[in-house]
Structure 1
């Protein structure tokens, strides 16, 4: 079977939504959980558009909420596939908000969602290989590779670190905790 390739641009999706009072948290700002839901939706759309398959969320990298979003602001999410594996894709997402009266735009957060393509039997399916056609896409691809390597190293460290040794337990003192085992 011939290898299928697609440009990263084939995965680009933009979603804009006006923030309403029903989207707020207890402090009157837009609820972070609502923004996460929108991020998951656009990650699904981007990955599904690229792969031509139903996709599920496998993991979400760190989401730092950089600026609060106010009621009445227009939130825009932009997503594209930055990296592909066999059945997985890393979708980069950038969230901005715009005060539609003043035109001021704020970067609210960015994150990376790992999505996996599935068939009707819920089995992983192979996704197209990536065609990189700009230096920005090269940067995004290499950053995804670097994040993947760091994640594997962190997971390996967590699997091999013995937290029950006397040294590890004594090391907790540096963090100001009291042990009562």
Structure 2
């Protein structure tokens, strides 16, 4: 009897869809709130896929909006685990779009989302450790680690006031 192979956990997901007329505001552009909703959905899918657990959003930050998205654009939202703590997952997201006839992607926005895995008792639960496998993944992990230190400094500074 052979042992079953361990299935590799997915650490990245990409959602691909057309921006609908109902996604845009009166200016014909997808508003930031809608883009953030897409980011949260993709990041949640990456977090759940990695942790195999229900997850809650703990942080959304470092969002940068570059080019606007219009109705009819083909949108891709990629979310990738870049660092894991004991129960947290730092997920880098990138939103891009293109004219579906040309398929030349244009970066629209990127940000960092942190999720915490929670167990059936509603308390944080451990997640598997993520080990980066490429130079880009290592750089993304280092960026996430640097942001942890900066956030801790900001909190300490605010607590002193």
CA positional deviation for 1:76? 0.1
Q: What pairs with 1:7-26 in structure 2 (closer than 5 Å)?
A: 10-26=10-26
Higher helix proportion (structure 1 or 2): 1
Structure 1 residue aligned with 2:105 = 105
CA offsets 1:108-141 (integer angstroms, 9 cap, x no match): 0000000000111211100111222111111111
Instruction: Give the alignment's Cα RMSD to 1 decimal.
Output: 1.5
Larger radius of gyration: 1
Distance 2:131 2:43 in 1: 19
Equivalent residue of 1:49, what SS?
helix
Structure 2 residue aligned with 1:29 = 29
Equivalent residue of 2:29, what SS?
coil
Unaligned stretches of 5+ residues in structure 1 = 1-5, 162-181
Distance 1:58 1:126 in 2: 15
Distance 2:79 2:56 in 1: 15
CA positional deviation for 1:72? 0.5
Whether contact under 8 Å (2:73, 2:100) holds in the other structure is yes
Distance 2:110 2:145 in 1: 17
What is the aligned residue count?
A: 155
Distance 1:40 1:26 in 2: 23
Return 96-105 or 30-39, whichever deviates more: 96-105
Whether contact under 8 Å (2:14, 2:77) holds in the other structure is yes
Distance 1:114 1:137 in 2: 16
TM-score by length of 1: 0.81
Whether contact under 8 Å (2:82, 2:132) holds in the other structure is no
Structure 2 residue aligned with 1:3 = none
TM-score by length of 2: 0.91
Distance 2:132 2:29 in 1: 38
Structure 2 residue aligned with 1:117 = 117
Structure 2 residue aligned with 1:55 = 55
The reply to whether residue 155 of structure 1 matches residue 155 of structure 2 is yes
